[in-house]
Amino acid sequence: MILTNDIWLNGFLGLAAVIALVFAARLVVERVSLLTQYFRISETFVSLTLLSITGNLPELGIVLSHTLGVHVGGLDLQTSSGMVMGVNIGSNLLQQGLFLGLFLIMQNKVLFKNQELRHSLYIYLAINIFLIFLSLDHWLTPLDGALLLFGFFLYLAWTYQHYKTPLSKQPIPSKAKKKTKLPHSLGQEFGILFGALFTLCLLGWYILGTTEWIVKEIAVDSSLVGALSIGVAASFPELAILLEGVQQKRANLVIGTLLGSNITHILLALSLGALSTGLYLPLSMLYWDLPFMFFLTVIWVTWMYYNKTKMNWVLGGIFSVLYIIYILLRVYYFTLASSSL
């Protein structure tokens, strides 16, 4: 859906839609956070699953818009696939590289004592390897999507098994001893939630259509657009959680949300896209983005193996510098659409 043939106006409208998309997602995150507190669901389980899923609503909205656009709206499958892959893998790299790096720098030292979160990190490494293996033929097929989605349900079951202690049985901070009060009635809260979800899908469809038009006009790699524009904007909910975590010194909440979000990108968002249409992986994704994500994960796992429970500003600096290098080389070598063939 293109409103004008002016490239600058389309770019401006697309940017405005991205900003609105993030605000709609933030509204959903706020509503889900309130409802989970109201119903007294385990906070740790929420950070790894529900908060990660709702924080990924911009990416999930893009996947749904991709599906509708390809089947109904006439979007080009390869261009749209590049956008979906760029948004999700780009968000992973941003959160794992820059966000986690800055968090560790600001905190100086973090004790990573939670064994289940450490196990989730090892699971994430295995997911990276599995994704690269499935992508070797440049496609994530519907069968690949089914395997990834099955892995997501296994991950949910494992997480629930380890975090099934209800919130009411966990230590409650003094500020949270009173029962959470909803700003609106329960029905209104759910109405706001579903309204924001609907808005999210409409905005995602518009962004994909606009991006496809711009990609064709300037011959730029669609996955690069996804990674450096929508992927960055879509990570704002996780950035908000990170900043709140710094203020309250809640390292496990921040790391759990970032780690759970990265797992959700692959096992849920990409699996749904692959199931619905199949997803094409451009050369830039297969030979640069996925290997670099795997490289960052190996560094993280190796650090935790030798340093046990300690993460500090040194690891944060390594992640931040490597992310900047990733962006510079990505833009230099994989900007044009020809690099995505």
Q: What is the CATH number of the domain that holds 206?
A: 1.20.1420.30
Phi-psi bin for 74: left (phi > 0), alpha (psi -120 to 50), beta?
A: left
Among 74-78, 230-234, 268-272, 283-287, which range has the highest average pLDDT? 268-272
**Is 187 part of a structural domain of the chain?**
yes
Taking alpha carbons only, the member of 271, 325, 309, 241 closest to residue 51 is 241
**Is 87 part of a structural domain of the chain?**
yes
**Is 176 part of a structural domain of the chain?**
no
Confidence at residue 199, expressed as pLDDT on a 0 to 100 scale: 78
Non-local CB neighbours of 40 within 8 Å, separated by 6+ positions: 166, 167, 168
pLDDT digits (tens, 9 = 90+) for 38-80: 777 665 666 677 667 766 777 787 788 788 888 886 778 887 7
Inter-CA distances, 226 with 85, 215, 220, 293, Å: 8, 11, 11, 16
**Is 214 part of a structural domain of the chain?**
yes
* 318 C-beta neighbours (distance < 10 Å), count: 17
Q: What is the mean pLDDT of the chain?
A: 78
The angle subtended at Cα 239 by Cα 234 and Cα 241, nearest 5°, is 120
Q: What's the rounded mean pLDDT across residues 152-167? A: 76
Q: Identify whether the C-beta of residue 240 lies closer than 8 Å to the C-beta of residue 22.
A: no
**Is 227 part of a structural domain of the chain?**
yes
Taking alpha carbons only, the member of 303, 271, 266, 269 closest to residue 127 is 266
Lowest mean pLDDT among 12-16, 153-157, 235-239, 292-296: 235-239
Strand partners, 280: 139
pLDDT digits (tens, 9 = 90+) for 327-338: 888 888 776 544
**Is 273 part of a structural domain of the chain?**
yes
Q: Identify whether the C-beta of residue 143 lies closer than 8 Å to the C-beta of residue 133.
A: no
Among 163-167, 196-200, 242-246, 320-324, which range has the highest average pLDDT? 320-324
- Separation of alpha carbons 88 and 92, rounded Å: 6
Range of the domain at 89: 7-171+182-340
**Is 14 part of a structural domain of the chain?**
yes
- Separation of alpha carbons 111 and 296, rounded Å: 20
Residue 252 has pLDDT above 50, yes or no: yes
Helix axes 142-162, 115-134, angle to 10 degrees: 170
Strand partners, 336: 220
3-state secondary structure of 139: strand
Residue 233 has pLDDT above 50, yes or no: yes
The angle subtended at Cα 242 by Cα 270 and Cα 321, nearest 5°, is 80
Total number of domains constituting the chain:
1
Lowest mean pLDDT among 39-48, 113-122, 191-200, 280-289: 39-48
Confidence at residue 272, expressed as pLDDT on a 0 to 100 scale: 93
Residue 270 has pLDDT above 90, yes or no: yes
Confidence at residue 216, expressed as pLDDT on a 0 to 100 scale: 60
**Is 2 part of a structural domain of the chain?**
no
User: Helix-strand-coil percent breakdown of the chain, rounded to 5?
Assistant: 80, 5, 15
Task: Say what the pTM is.
Answer: 0.75
Number of H helices, E strands in the chain: 17, 4
Hey, what are 79's tokens?
Answer: 């261009």
> Which residue blocks in 69-226 are alpha helix, DSSP H?
77-93, 100-107, 115-134, 142-162, 186-218, 222-225
Cα of 318 vs its chain's centroid, Å = 21
12-28 burial string, b = 16+ CB within 10 Å, else e? Answer: ebbeebbebbbebbbbb
